Amino acid sequence: MLVIGIALLLGAAVLAPLAFRALRRWSSHTALSAVRPRALAALAGREVRVSGVAVPGPDGAIESRLARAECVWHGHEVNRHYWSLADAAPASGERTRERACDSIADYASDEPFGIIGEGAPAKGTPVLIAPEDAALSGVDMVLQRVVGRPQPGVPAQADDLLARVKGRISGLFRGETIEFEYREWVLRAGEPITVHGVVELRDGHPVLTAPPDGRLRIERGPAAEPARPAPRAVDAVLLGAGALATACTGVTLLLTAA
């Protein structure tokens, strides 16, 4: 009986550290899933994948440039459609016109906004996102307008969007202009997002930024795999607890036998 008790104690001593590490990993995973700033601060310098809900940044919600829609991020693009002269056909020797398109303006907001965990209070402390040069996918297009070039004797459509375009309009204006196309996308507060980036500490607070060799990726929509406790962690904890309980029972039996 003494040999069995010693064996059980040794087994518990081996399993207890494993159970402790598994419990710590499980706690860290849960904290990260809840988008807790303290948990993310502990991962400074590491790449992470965080899912939650978009919320306004420190200065509140912003307004998109073209559609004037309230949001936390917006971006727009201006395309110029034109007639391009194609190469001459071998048979006729005449050049034909082909429709082409160039982007002449491209802008995305860089005001920081936040992310909180699903179900967290709206006034909770968010983790900030620095969207400079971020790649967003799945966001809503809120405006698409085509404005044709003025034609002789035809009333021209009012182009009130040109003055709202942020940034410089540039490009090689080739061929004959057909029309200008304005498009704008927004990300609204309360929408589910998943962010892939690096944790950076700014004034002691975690901020999700782009990795040194890539771009910050923000995907609108619910996470493909909802965060949940890792089964291995739970199993290890239960196993360690079971081993400890068994060892204690063995010691009790030894004492009783004595």
Query: What are the pLDDT digits (tens) for 135-156?
Result: 999 999 999 999 987 666 655 5
242 has pLDDT over 80: no
* 205 inside domain: yes
* 39 inside domain: no
* 174 inside domain: yes
Confidence of residue 29 (pLDDT cuts 50, 70, 90): very low
What would the two tokens of residue 14 be?
């081996």
Residues 51 and 162 in one domain: yes
Range of the domain at 76: 44-225
* 59 inside domain: yes
pLDDT digits (tens, 9 = 90+) for 44-59: 999 999 999 999 999 9
Residues 173 and 244 in one domain: no
* 208 inside domain: yes
At residue 34, the pLDDT reads: 53
Closest CA to 219 of 136, 150, 144: 136
CA-CA distance, 75 to 81, in Å (whole number)?
A: 20
* 52 inside domain: yes
Residues 90 and 151 in one domain: yes
What dihedral angle (degrees, nearest 10) is formed by the CA atoms of 35, 40, 43, 47? 50
* 151 inside domain: yes
Residues 258 and 152 in one domain: no
pTM higher than 0.85: no
pLDDT digits (tens, 9 = 90+) for 114-140: 999 987 766 678 999 999 989 999 999
Residues 2 and 65 in one domain: no
Phi, psi of 190 (to 5 degrees): 90, -5
Q: For residue 104, how far is the Cα from the chain centroid? A: 27
Residues 150 and 27 in one domain: no
Residues 107 and 175 in one domain: yes
Residues 235 and 110 in one domain: no
Distance set, CA 68 to CA 147, 184, 192 (Å): 18, 10, 22
Residues 232 and 123 in one domain: no
Residues 187 and 244 in one domain: no
At residue 191, the pLDDT reads: 97
Residues 213 and 255 in one domain: no
Longest Cα pair distance anywhere in the chain, in angstroms? 112
* 38 inside domain: no
71 has pLDDT over 80: yes
pLDDT digits (tens, 9 = 90+) for 173-229: 888 899 999 999 999 999 999 999 999 999 999 999 999 999 999 999 986 554 444
Number of structural domains in the chain: 2
Residues 29 and 74 in one domain: no
